[in-house]
Amino acid sequence: MFSGKKVLITAGPTYEPLDPVRFIGNHSTGKMGFALARCLAEAGAEVSLVSGPTALTLDHALVHITPVMTADEMFAACAKVAPEADLWIFAAAVADYKPKDTATSKIKKSDASFTIELVKNVDIAATLGQQKREDQFAVGFALETDQELENARGKLLKKKLDMVVLNSLRDPGAGFKHDTNKITIVKAASVEEYALKNKDEVAQDILESIKAEWACLQKK
């Protein structure tokens, strides 16, 4: 099913600069997104991988990597690729907020407290979801700590996704900084729970679930 398909994948964190030295970010390594890109390329898909800062590399003729730093840069790179892509997989941990102003020189330590005004970043999946065609398939990721299924179902509807891959930080070995992951795949009509596995195996599970759901949607 994936051979010849064009795929957009986001991976890793975004870094939102406070000044030339400091940034707001998270602990994402990009391992899940890179594993998905590798598996899809091995299945014959042409992959555009938009990656935030990561130490990972991937050398495959069918994978084109676009490195970015901020959420705005990630959105701009995705917006170029999304219209022509058959499959979107938003695996990146995009920062929800960014500093309203970025200092041009290092902020010096002075007072006992320091206040930063934050503004919302663009919601990449939701914004692109407004332009999604019926022939395109979109997958989102949700890392939750509370009301996991409720929040995942909310993202499914709000962002016009076809499925959401849910991680819970309550599960040992899942989430950031691990070679393993434990996922629950949430679809409009089903919830699929998986055991803890390494991320290459998790990527295969996700792709098999995409195949099944995509095939059902194409029959409608």
Q: Got the DSSP string for 101-163?
A: S--SSPPPP-SS-----EEEPP-HHHHHHTT--TT-EEEEEEEESSSHHHHHHHHHHHTT-SE
Check the CA dihedral 48-5-127-199 and report its sign: negative
**Catalytic-role residue among 26, 121, 167, 181:** 26
Q: Which ranges of the chain does DSSP label H, i.e. alpha helix? A: 31-42, 71-81, 124-129, 148-158, 199-219
26 as an active site residue: the answer is: yes
Over its C-alpha atoms, the chain yields an Rg (Å, rounded) of 18
Q: At what angle do helices 199-219 and 31-42 cross, to 10 degrees?
A: 60
* Residues with a known catalytic role: 26
